[in-house]
Amino acid sequence: MIRIKRAHVLIAALAAALCVPAAGVGAGNGLPSTIGKGEGQLNLVAWVGYAQPQWVKPFTKATGCAVHAKYAGSSDEMVTLMRSGGGSQYDMVSASGDASLRLIYGGDVQPVNVNLIPDWKHFIPQLKSPSHNTVKGQHYGVSLQWGPNTLLYNTKKVKPAPKSWSAIYDSKYKGKVTVPDNPIQIADAALYLSKSQPSLGIKDPYELNQKQFDAAVALLKKQRPLIKKYWATAADQIDLFKNGEAVVGATWPYQTNTLRAAKVPVKDLIPREGATGWADTWMLSAKAKHPNCAYMWLKWISTPKVQAQQAIYFGETPANPLACPIMDQLAKGSAAQYHCGASAAYFRSIKFWKTPIADCGNGSKDCMDYTKWQQAWTQLKG
Amino acid sequence: MRAARLRTSGFFWRHRWAKALLLLAPPLLAFALVYLAALVALFVSSFWTVDPFTTELKHIWNIDNYRTLWQSSAYRSIALRTIGIAAAVTLTDAVLAFPFGYFMARIASGRSRTFLFIAVLLPLWSSYLIRVYIWRLILNQDGVLNWFLGSVGLPPVHLAYTNWAVWIVFSYVWLPFMILPVFGALERIPHSYIEASRDLGASGWSTFRRVVLPLALPGVVAGSIFTFALTLGDYVTPLLAGGAGSQFIGNVVYESVGISNNVPFAAAFAAVPLVVMAIYLTIARRLGAFEAL
C-alpha cells in the first residue's frame, strides 16, 4: 500500500517538475497570476479539526493533492513548526492572529494573490484585509474562520449555571478547573479584570502595562491551586471532562461539540465579560514546496460548502457568509448558533488573539511583550 | 597478493595497538562525532539568545539564560521537584526491588526464576506510553483504584493528575531497571560466605546486615543510576500523569524548544541534569557501582 502511494507521489512530483511550469508570475508584484498544475501533495500545520476527511477527501479527489496535516496545540507551536527543517517542511499554516504577525515579520510566510481566490470577495468586510494578515496592503494569506473562547461547564456538577468568568477563579470548584496551557491565557485574566476591576484601566487585554500585567498574573497565581490540569491538547480537556476530573474550564467550541456528541452533560457560553477569540488565516510558507496545491486549498477551503462544514464541525464562524444557508441545510439552526453572518457589533465584542508587543500605540513602549508573557506563564505554572 | 596479505597480518601481529586502533576507530569516531559533538553544540548554544518577537536565533554571547535559571524561583523549584521525585522513585524502587531480587537469586528454583524473569521484563515489551495511559485509567476519579476502594468500603483517593501519580507511575515503569542489577549482585554472593557467617554464630539478621547488604549495595547503586537518570530526563509521565504543578526539567526543555522555539534556554536548562548526573556518578563510583554493572 505504502509503496504504491509513494510511487504515486513520486510520479506526480516528477510530472509536475518536468512538464508544467510553476504558477505563472504576475505583472511586477511577484505574485502568481494563475494557479498551475498541482504538485501532488500538500503539508499543513493546522488546528485540530481543521483538516477533516469530510472536506479533505473530496479536495484530494478533485485536485490530486494528497493532504498531510500536522496538528498543533498552540500558536507558539505553530510558529515553531513553520520554522522547523529550514521552513520548507510545511506548505501552509492555519495561523491565528497571535501567530500571523510573528510569521510575517519573521519572513516565514509569503504574500498571496487574493484575486486567485474567487470567494474572497464574498468575505465579511472585516476579514478581507484584517491587520493580522495584511501588512502595507500585502495579503499574507486568506481568512478562514473565527470564534470565541468559551466557558465550559458540567451541567450536573456546576449549579447554578455560571454567567461570568469568575467561575474559573472561584474556590468553589477547587481542583476541578482546567484552562489552556498557553501564555495567551493571561489575556483572559486581563479581560475578566477589565470588567471586575475597572480601576486598573485595562482597555485591550493584549496591551498591558506593568501594573495591569502584574494584576492579571496575580489573579492567575491565585487560580493555580484550583487547577486540576492545564490542558495542552483538546483531547486532554475532553478526557478531563469525560472522567469527571474537571467540571469547569476555558475551552474551544470544538471540545464542547465532541463532549456533547459523547453524551457528556456539558454546555458552554460566552460569559458576560465577553470573550477572547481567534480569527484564523491560512498562510503560505515562504519556502512552500507545493504552492499550486496550496492555492487550490485556499480556493477550496473558502467555498461556501466547505466553510459551512468546517464551521459546524469545529463550532466557529465562517469568513464567507454565503456559507450561512448551507450551515442551516446541514444542521438546522447552526447558522444562528455559531453567529454566521453576525453583526459588526458582535465581531467587535470578541477580543481576538494577537501578539503582545512592547509598543502598544501609546508612544511610550511600556507594554509587556510576549517574552514576558511566556516567562510569567512558565513561572506561575511552576 | 598473498605476500601483501601476509605482510599486513604480520604488521598487526607485531603491533597489537594498531589492531586495537583499527577495531575501535569507527565506533570511537562515531562516538566523538555523534555523541560528544552534540553535547558541545548543546553547551555552546546555551550561551546564545533569541529575538523576543520573531523567536529567531541570535548568535550573541551572553549568560542571560543561566542568570534567569538562577534567579527565578520557578525554575529552581522545577529543578528541585525533578531531582526530588527522581530520588524518591529511586528509593521506592530499591525498597521494592531488594526483596524481589533476593527471592529470585537465592530462594526461587530454576523454573520459577525463569518465570519471574519474564514477569519482570514483560512490561518492557509493551509501549511506554500505553503503560502511562493505563495508570491514568487506574488512578482516575472513577478509575479502577477508587472502584476497588469503594467496594471494600474505603473512601476514594484523589491521586490522578498529581505529583503522587507521577511518583507512582515512575516507580512502576523503572522498576525492572532496578531489579535486574540487584538480582545480579545478590546472585554473585558466594553461598559459602553466608554459611561461614552462620558457622561463626551470626544471626540471620546480622548476616543480612553485615554480609549480604554490603555485597549487594553496588548492585543497588548501579540500578539507581538507571532509575535516577531515567526519571531526571523524562517529560512524558509528568505531562500525562501530572497535574497543574508537575513540570519537570524535561517539560520546560520540551516547551522551550517545541513551543517557544527558545533552543538556547532549553540548552541551558538541560545542562542542570548533566551536572546533577555527573555528581551522582562520582558518588556512585565511590560506592563501587561500576563493578556491579
What is the per-residue pLDDT across B112-138, written as a single tens digit (0 to 9) for each?
999 999 999 998 889 999 999 999 889
For chain A, what is the mean pLDDT? Answer: 88
Asked if the model's pLDDT at residue A355 lies above 90, the reply is no
Q: How far is CA B195 from the centre of its chain?
A: 35
Contact B245 A79 (CB under 8 A): no
What is the distance between the alpha carbons of residues A45 and A76, in angstroms, rounded to a whole number?
A: 12
Long-range contacts of B249-257 (CB under 8 A, 24+ apart): B249/B78, B249/B79, B249/B82, B249/B273, B250/B82, B251/B78, B252/A378, B252/B75, B252/B78, B255/A378, B257/A80
Asked if the model's pLDDT at residue A53 lies above 80, the reply is yes
Nearest CA distance, A191 vs chain B (angstrom): 22
Say what the pLDDT of residue B204 is: 87
What is the distance between the alpha carbons of residues A250 and B34, in angstroms, rounded to a whole number?
A: 44
Residues 6+ apart with CB under 8 A from B263: B45, B48, B50, B57, B256, B257
Say what the pLDDT of residue B273 is: 92
In chain A, the percentage of residues whose pLDDT exceeds 70 is: 92
A360 close to B (CB below 8 A)? no
Contact indicator for A297, A282 with CB cutoff of 8 Å: yes
Contact B160 A245 (CB under 8 A): yes
What is the per-residue pLDDT across A218-239, written as a single tens digit (0 to 9) for each?
999 999 999 999 998 888 899 9
To 10 degrees, what angle do helices A53-63 and A291-302 make?
A: 130
Say what the pLDDT of residue A341 is: 82
Say what the pLDDT of residue B68 is: 86
Could you say which of A102, A225, A379 has the minimum Cβ distance to residue B54?
A102
Other C-beta atoms lying within 10 Å of the C-beta of residue A62: 11
C-alpha R_g of chain B: 25
> For residue B293, what pLDDT band results from cuts at 50, 70 and 90?
low
Say what the pLDDT of residue B292 is: 61
Contact A80 B55 (CB under 8 A): yes
Contact indicator for A312, A334 with CB cutoff of 8 Å: yes
For B23, the grid coordinates are 577495531
Contact B140 A243 (CB under 8 A): yes
Could you say which of B52, B141, B259 has the minimum Cβ distance to residue A74?
B259
A235 close to B (CB below 8 A)? no
Name the one residue in this structure whose C-alpha cell is 500545520: A45
Could you say which of B73, B158, B244 has the minimum Cβ distance to residue A229?
B244
> For residue B142, which residues of chain A lie inside 8 Å, CB to CB?
243-244
What is the per-residue pLDDT across A158-210, written as a single tens digit (0 to 9) for each?
989 999 999 999 999 999 999 999 999 999 999 999 999 999 999 999 999 99
Say what the pLDDT of residue A160 is: 92
In chain B, the percentage of residues whose pLDDT exceeds 70 is: 97
Say what the pLDDT of residue A238 is: 95
Contact A379 B259 (CB under 8 A): no
Contact B74 A380 (CB under 8 A): yes
> For residue B75, which residues of chain A lie inside 8 Å, CB to CB?
378-379
What is the per-residue pLDDT across B148-181, written as a single tens digit (0 to 9) for each?
999 999 998 888 899 999 999 999 999 999 999 9
Nearest CA in chain B to A73: B259
Contact B74 A378 (CB under 8 A): yes
> For residue B166, which residues of chain A lie inside 8 Å, CB to CB?
none
Cβ under 8 Å to B: A residues 33-72: none
Contact B258 A77 (CB under 8 A): yes
Could you say which of B56, B142, B259 has the minimum Cβ distance to residue A77?
B259
Average pLDDT over residues B219-240: 93
Contact A379 B140 (CB under 8 A): no
Residues 6+ apart with CB under 8 A from A53: none
Average pLDDT over residues A14-40: 62
Cβ under 8 Å to B: A residues 108-137: none
Q: Which residues of B touch A (CB under 8 A)?
A: 52-56, 68, 72-75, 77-78, 140-143, 158, 160-161, 239, 242-245, 247, 252, 255, 257-261
Instruction: Compute the count of residue pairs across chains A and B with CB atoms less than 8 Å apart.
Output: 79
| Highest mean pLDDT out of B29-38, B51-60, B117-126 | B117-126
Asked if the model's pLDDT at residue A9 lies above 50, the reply is no
Say what the pLDDT of residue B97 is: 95
Average pLDDT over residues B82-100: 96
Name the one residue in this structure whose C-alpha cell is 496591551: A207
Asked if the model's pLDDT at residue A63 lies above 90, the reply is yes
A81-85, B72-76, B255-259: segment of lowest average pLDDT:
B255-259
Nearest CA in chain A to B242: A229
Between A142 and A25, the more confident residue is A142
Say what the pLDDT of residue A25 is: 42
Contact A227 B142 (CB under 8 A): no
A79 close to B (CB below 8 A)? yes
Say what the pLDDT of residue A11 is: 44
Say what the pLDDT of residue A246 is: 94
Say what the pLDDT of residue A10 is: 43
A4-18, A262-276, A285-299: segment of lowest average pLDDT:
A4-18
Say what the pLDDT of residue A29 is: 64
From the list B101, B97, B125, the residue with the least C-alpha distance to B113 is B101
What is the distance between the alpha carbons of residues A233 and A221, in angstroms, rounded to a whole number?
A: 22
Between A148 and A364, the more confident residue is A148
Q: Per 3-state DSSP, what percentage of chain A is helix, strand, and coil (rounded to 5)?
A: 45, 20, 35
CATH number, domain B66-292, options 1.20.1250.20, 3.40.50.300, 1.10.3720.10, 1.10.8.100: 1.10.3720.10
> For residue B247, which residues of chain A lie inside 8 Å, CB to CB?
378, 381-382
Say what the pLDDT of residue A18 is: 40
Domains along chain A with CATH numbers:
2-146+278-342 (3.40.190.10), 148-276+352-381 (3.40.190.10)
- Which one of B139, B235, B260 makes the best mutation probe of the A interface by having the most chain A beta carbons within 10 Å? B260
- Which one of A84, A242, A379 makes the best mutation probe of the B interface by having the most chain B beta carbons within 10 Å? A379
Domain boundaries, chain B: 66-292
